[in-house]
Chain A
Amino acid sequence: MSARKKSQKPKVAFFDFTGCEGCQLNKLNLENDLLGILELIDLVEFREAMDDKAEEYDIAFIEGSITTPSCVERIYDIRRRTKILVALGQCAVSGGINAMKNNYPLAQVQEEVYGKDKYLFPSMPAMPVRAFVQVDYEVRGCPMSMPEFLHVLKSLVLGRKPEIKDYAVCVECKLKENECVLEKGMFCLGPITRAGCDAICPSNGQYCTGCRGLVSNMNKNGAIEMLKQHGFSVEEAIKRMAMFNTNELVKEANWGNR
C-alpha cells in the first residue's frame, strides 16, 4: 500500500471531528521534528494550522469521533478522496471519552445541557470512524502516543506496513521497573489495556485509565480474579473501563457475567 510515487512526496491531510484536538496539538508539539517531517510530506490540508484545502490525498489522518449526521457525510467524503485512512487517537479509534454519553438515553443527555432547546442541535451516539468507513491503520491513546504516530507516518511514507503493539501495558510498566500499581493499593487497568504508551501514567504515580483500549486477546477471567484479589469489584472495573471504552464494552456485553 505504497502512498509514494517515485520522487513525489505523499499528499497528507489532517481532519478533525468531535474531540478535544489534543492529538493535533500533540503533533504541533513535535517542535524538534516538525520541520524534518515537512521535508518528507506534502501537507495539503490541516485546518487548525493553515488555510489551504485539497481535492485528494494519499494519507488522511482522522481525529475525533463521529457524533452528528454531518460528521457522517464528511467522513464518507474524505474516504472517497483518500488512498489511506488512519484513525488518530482514541476518539477516532473507539469513540473514546465521547462515548461515555452513550450510556444514557440521548434525549436525556441533550436535555441536561440545553434544557427545552434540546432539539436545536442534532446529535447521535459517539461512534468510532470504523463504524462508518474502512480504517487502514490506528494510532491509539488519549492523547495519542507521539512515538507511535511518528512510526506510523514514517512507515507509510516509506511504503511499509506499520507495526502494531497488541500486548498489555503491564509489559511496558515492568520494563520501566515501576512498582506494581495494584500492589500499591490503587486500582489499575494496565493488565487488559493495549501497550504503546510506555506506561506513562504508572510511571508518573497514576493508575492506568485504559485510554488505549483493550488488548485483542484479553484474559478476562484472569483480570477479574486479579482485581478481586486486590479488593476491587467487577462493577467498579466496568465503571472505570467505561471512561475510554464504552463502545468496546458494548461489544463485550458479557464482561464479568453481567
Chain B
Amino acid sequence: MSRNLSINVHHITRVEGHGNIVVDVKNGVLKRAYLNIVEPPRFFEAMLKGRNFHEAAIITSRICGICSLGHQMTSLKATEAALGLEVSEQTIALRKLLVHGATFQSNVLHALFLATPDFLNVGSVFPLVHTHKDVVLAALRLKHLANEIGNLISGRAVHPISIVPGGFTKLPSEKDLLYLREKLLNEGMKDALFTIDILATLTDQIPDFYRETEYISLSNDYEYALYDGLICSSDAGLFPVEEYESVTNEFIVPHSTSKHAKFNRSSYMVGALARFNNNYKFLKPKAREVADKLGLKAPNYNPYMNTVAQLVEVVHCIEDSIELIDTLLDKGIKNEKPNQEPTRYGRGIAATEVPRGILFHDYTYNRKGQIEKANCIIPTGQNLANIDEDMRKLVPEIINEPKDEITKKLEMLVRAYDPCISCSVHLLDVKFEE
C-alpha cells in the first residue's frame, strides 16, 4: 500500500464547461483530490448593474445555454418579488410546464447522451448509433419532445423569448397544448419506459460507493417541488428562501474559479438525488415504479445514483406535464397581458429547482426599476465541495485498482453530478499529479 499515484484529467469530457480532476497519492497516502475549475469567470453580477427590470432575465438566461430556462425563471421570480408583481394562475401553470420541459430535456441529455456511454464502455454516444440504434433514436425523440415544450410555450427552448416579468408576451394555443399532450402521453412515455428498461440491465455498471451527506432542495407540502417551495435540508429542516445566504455560505478556494458552499457539514449535495431523497413521497406513480425497477430507494447515499434519479424525474415530469395541460385546457387559455406595473422597489429573492439543483437569484432594484445589486448562486457551485469530499473518500477505497479504472471512476463521479461549469463561474477537467 505504498503506492504513488498521480492523476490529472485535463478538461474532462462530456460535461458542460471546463474542469480538471487532480489526484495526488504519495506512499499510499492521499495528498490531494479535487476538481479544479478552470472555466473563465464571466462576471454576470457586474453586468446586471444598472439594467432595467425587463432586461434582467434576458441577460441571466445567457449564464447557461443548458439551464437557460431555469435562470430565466428564477430571474423573473426574483424581479417579481422585488417589484411586487403578481402573476396569474395560468402563468404559474405554464411556467411549471416549462420547468418540466427543461428538466426533462436536460436529464435526458445527461443520463442518456453523456453518462450512458460509460456504462457501455464507449467514449461518446456516437458509436451507439451503430450498436444501439433503437435506444439512440428513442433518446433523440425524447429530447426533441422536451424541446418542443420549450419551443411552443416560450418561443425557443434555448434562451426562451416570450416569458417576461409578470407573464407571457405570447400564449400557446389550445391546439399546441393538445398536440403536446398527445405526444407526451403516447410517444414520450413509451420512449421513456423503453430506454429505462434497457438501462435497468446496465445498473451493475454503477460503482458501489456510499457517502452520506447533507441533501438540500426545495420542498413544499403539495407536490414534488420544482417551481417553488421552502429550502429543505435533510439535516436541519425547512428555511425560507429569503434566508439562502445562511444556507449556502459561499467561500473561495484557490483551485476553483467557482465559489464553494457548505451548511451543516463540510459540504452538501443538490440536484436530482437530493430532490429524490427529500421529496420522494410526491413522485407520480409511474415514476415510483421506475425508481423501484432501477433499484433506487429513498434515501440513497450513492452519488453515482444521481443519474438514475434523473431518469425517474423524466417520467415524473411527463406524468405531471400531462396533468398540467389537462388543467389548462379545462380552464381554457385566457388572453392575459403581462403585469408590469411595479407596486414597490426593493430586494427580491427567488429559488427554483433547475436540473442540477437549487438555484438562487437575489436582486435589489432602485426606484427607477434598475438593478443596483445582484447575486446568483448556482447548483454546480454548491456541489463542488461535495464532489471533492466524495473523491477524498473514494480514492483510498479503490487505490489498489489499475490507474485507468480509478480515472474512469473519478470521471464518472464528476459526470454523475451533471456539473454545469459555465453556470458555476457563471464554470470542469480531471488532473492526476504524479
A94 to chain B, nearest CB (A): 13
Shortest Cβ-Cβ A-B pairs, 10 listed: A22-B65, A205-B169, A50-B124, A51-B123, A204-B155, A205-B170, A31-B144, A100-B47, A20-B65, A204-B161
Contact flag A200-B144 (CB < 8 Å), given A24-B65, A50-B123, A243-B59: no
Query: Which residues in A have their C-beta under 8 angstroms from that of B193?
Result: none
Check B62 against A112 for contact (C-beta < 8 Å). Answer: no
Of B11, B46, B114, B143, chain A has the most CB atoms within 10 Å of the CB of: B46
The proximity string for A residues 217-258 relative to B, scoring 1 for CB distances below 8 Å and 0 otherwise, is 000000000000000000000011001000000000000000
Q: Is the interface of A mostly helix, strand, loop or mixed?
A: helix
Contact flag A31-B143 (CB < 8 Å), given A113-B41, A117-B252, A204-B155: yes
Residue A26 interfacial (CB < 8 Å): yes
Contact flag A21-B66 (CB < 8 Å), given A31-B143, A51-B13: yes
The proximity string for B residues 136-147 relative to A, scoring 1 for CB distances below 8 Å and 0 otherwise, is 000011011001
Residue A133 interfacial (CB < 8 Å): no
Residue A18 interfacial (CB < 8 Å): yes
The CA of A117 and the CA of B17, in the complex, are separated in Å by 22
Residue B328 interfacial (CB < 8 Å): no
Residue B286 interfacial (CB < 8 Å): no
Chain A, residue nearest B171 (CB) = A205
Residue B386 interfacial (CB < 8 Å): no
The CA of A23 and the CA of B302, in the complex, are separated in Å by 33
The proximity string for B residues 143-174 relative to A, scoring 1 for CB distances below 8 Å and 0 otherwise, is 11001000000111111011010001110000
Stretch binding the partner chain, chosen from A5-13, A41-49, A150-158, A162-170: A41-49
Query: Which residues in A have their C-beta under 8 angstroms from that of B125?
Result: 49-50
Check B159 against A142 for contact (C-beta < 8 Å). Answer: yes
The CA of A85 and the CA of B87, in the complex, are separated in Å by 46
A243 to chain B, nearest CB (A): 7
Residue B388 interfacial (CB < 8 Å): no
Query: Which residues in B have their C-beta under 8 angstroms from that of A110?
Result: 41, 43
Of the candidates B45, B124, B156, B157, the one whose C-beta lies within 8 Å of that of A49 is B124
Residue A54 interfacial (CB < 8 Å): no
The proximity string for A residues 106-122 relative to B, scoring 1 for CB distances below 8 Å and 0 otherwise, is 00111011110100110
Residue B285 interfacial (CB < 8 Å): no
B158 to chain A, nearest CB (A): 5
The CA of A215 and the CA of B15, in the complex, are separated in Å by 35
B412 to chain A, nearest CB (A): 12
- Contact size range, B: 35 or more
Query: Which residues in A have their C-beta under 8 angstroms from that of B126?
Result: 38, 43, 49-50
Of the candidates A20, A48, A204, the one whose C-beta lies within 8 Å of that of B14 is A48
Residue B68 interfacial (CB < 8 Å): yes
| 23 CB-based A-B contacts, threshold 8 Å | A18-B40, A21-B66, A22-B66, A25-B158, A29-B158, A31-B143, A31-B144, A32-B144, A35-B129, A47-B14, A49-B124, A97-B47, A101-B42, A112-B46, A114-B41, A114-B252, A123-B40, A143-B65, A200-B161, A205-B161, A240-B55, A243-B55, A243-B59
Check B59 against A200 for contact (C-beta < 8 Å). Answer: no
Of the candidates A25, A68, A112, the one whose C-beta lies within 8 Å of that of B40 is A68
Of the candidates A28, A43, A52, A104, the one whose C-beta lies within 8 Å of that of B109 is A28
Contact flag A20-B113 (CB < 8 Å), given A38-B126, A51-B124, A206-B161: no
Query: Which residues in B have their C-beta under 8 angstroms from that of A67?
Result: 40, 42
Chain A, residue nearest B124 (CB) = A50
Residue A201 interfacial (CB < 8 Å): yes
B333 to chain A, nearest CB (A): 14
The CA of A123 and the CA of B144, in the complex, are separated in Å by 37
The CA of A200 and the CA of B160, in the complex, are separated in Å by 11
Chain A, residue nearest B411 (CB) = A51
Q: Is the interface of B mostly helix, strand, loop or mixed?
A: loop
Residue A34 interfacial (CB < 8 Å): yes
Check B40 against A21 for contact (C-beta < 8 Å). Answer: no
The CA of A74 and the CA of B427, in the complex, are separated in Å by 17
Query: Which residues in B have their C-beta under 8 angstroms from that of A22?
Result: 62, 64-66, 68, 158-159
Residue A98 interfacial (CB < 8 Å): yes
Check A204 against B140 for contact (C-beta < 8 Å). Answer: no
Residue A171 interfacial (CB < 8 Å): no
A158 to chain B, nearest CB (A): 22
A253 to chain B, nearest CB (A): 20
Check B156 against A200 for contact (C-beta < 8 Å). Answer: yes
The CA of A113 and the CA of B257, in the complex, are separated in Å by 10
Query: Which residues in A have their C-beta under 8 angstroms from that of B74?
Result: none
Check B164 against A21 for contact (C-beta < 8 Å). Answer: no
List which B13-54 residues lie within 8 A (CB) of chain A.
13-18, 38-43, 45-47, 50
Residue B63 interfacial (CB < 8 Å): yes
Residue A182 interfacial (CB < 8 Å): no
Residue A193 interfacial (CB < 8 Å): no
The CA of A248 and the CA of B267, in the complex, are separated in Å by 43
Residue B94 interfacial (CB < 8 Å): no
List which A172-214 residues lie within 8 A (CB) of chain B.
200-201, 203-206, 209
Check B169 against A109 for contact (C-beta < 8 Å). Answer: no
The CA of A2 and the CA of B383, in the complex, are separated in Å by 46
Query: Which residues in A have their C-beta under 8 angstroms from that of B296?
Result: none
Chain B, residue nearest A141 (CB) = B159
Residue A71 interfacial (CB < 8 Å): yes
Of the candidates A48, A96, A205, the one whose C-beta lies within 8 Å of that of B16 is A48
Check A51 against B158 for contact (C-beta < 8 Å). Answer: no
Check B161 against A47 for contact (C-beta < 8 Å). Answer: no
A145 to chain B, nearest CB (A): 10
B76 to chain A, nearest CB (A): 14
A139 to chain B, nearest CB (A): 14
Query: Which residues in B have their C-beta under 8 angstroms from that of A32?
Result: 140, 144
Chain A, residue nearest B251 (CB) = A117
Check B11 against A47 for contact (C-beta < 8 Å). Answer: yes
List which B380-396 residues lie within 8 A (CB) of chain A.
none
Query: Which residues in B have their C-beta under 8 angstroms from that of A38?
Result: 126, 129
Chain A, residue nearest B127 (CB) = A50
The proximity string for A residues 128-142 relative to B, scoring 1 for CB distances below 8 Å and 0 otherwise, is 000000000000001
The CA of A21 and the CA of B65, in the complex, are separated in Å by 5
